[in-house]
Amino acid sequence: MARRFPDAFELKERGKRMKKEKKPALTPEERSRKVKKAVIYFRRYWVLYAMLILPVIYYIVFKYIPMVGNVLAFRRYRPGKGAFGTDWTLRYFERFLKDPMFWRALRNTIVLSVMSLAVNFPIPIIFAILVNELRGTIFKKFVQTVSYMPRFISTVVVIAILNELLSPSSGLLNKLLGVFGVAPIYFMNEPQWFRPVYILSEAWQFTGWTAIIYLAAITGINQELYEAAEIDGASRGQQMWYITLPSILPTIMIMLIMNIGHILSLGFEKVLLMYTPANSAISDILDTLVYRTGLANQNYSYATAIGLFSGLVGLLLVTIANTTSKKLTGESIY
């Protein structure tokens, strides 16, 4: 009689039953052995734990403690009457849901985020794969260095460079267009050029930096896979398609989930610096609306309500993307 092996469902159910079963209590000798092993492990890797101290402090001070301020979204703030407001209310949520400026900013944020994600998400992946294919070590290092250097340029300096390059009077691009008889274009002021300039400048500034993550994932691929593919006659393109891409798929999915979570929080620095009254119908996003409402107009409760809405939607998007990714590819961040 043929031996019957359990299928995946039976194995899964068996694993659940094993988890539910109570583990026997540790004896004093076993407990002492585990403590000693933990102490030896900590002594060996204490430097790594020490390096975690600053990041942990950063997240506690600048990410978790400020969450307490979200209570202002439900409280009516009055100057001089307490930092956390006086009366409980939902008026600020009702107010921004009826505010046409909010809906315009929400639409602009979603459109700009989706366009930026569609363009700037695949570019670092393609760039990392192409850099990995370079054979000259010196040239490869040169390309990597040149590509991620823009990441260290301040956003203010980037916008200053764009203003010089795209100036309608003295900009290099407009001078080049003038050779072909094209009239000067004020790229930094005209609404239809705001999104292309923003997306392309993001690609220039962050492609090389983001590609480092994918290059690190590529270096972890077993080289025997490529050797076997070469023996089977696979071309370099086929190796990239059938080995490299599937091998870095977990990294790609994690990065995609994290990017989807930031759809409503682009960061206001670059947008604010590119913002002008002429392009405000396109450039006004949720972050600039919160900045203008909270800091410029000192309407803190209203700005907090908008920011809280943005954060909750981001959390929802991350959850949906994570669940979808886990079902389709088996990869997730939690």
Residue 88 sits at φ, ψ, to 5 deg, of -80, 135
Structural domain boundaries in the chain: 82-328
- In this predicted structure, the answer to whether residue 12 has a pLDDT above a threshold of 60 is no
Higher-confidence position of 170 and 333: 170
**What pLDDT sits at residue 267?**
74
**What pLDDT sits at residue 5?**
44
Percent of the chain with pLDDT over 70: 92
Contact, 235 vs 226, CB < 8 A? no
Q: Which residues pair with 75 in a beta bridge?
A: 88
Domain range 82-328, its CATH number among 3.40.50.970, 3.30.710.10, 2.40.50.100, 1.10.3720.10: 1.10.3720.10
- CA pair distance 147, 127, nearest whole angstrom: 10
pTM of the model: 0.81
Q: Which residues pair with 226 in a beta bridge?
A: none
Question: pLDDT of 30-47, one tens digit each?
Answer: 788 888 888 898 889 999
Between helix 194-219 and helix 122-133 the angle, nearest 10°, is: 50
Question: pLDDT of 241-279, one tens digit each?
Answer: 989 999 999 899 989 998 998 888 887 889 999 998 899
Mean predicted lDDT score pLDDT of the chain: 86
Question: pLDDT of 172-229, one tens digit each?
Answer: 999 999 888 889 999 999 999 999 999 999 999 999 999 999 999 998 898 888 888 8
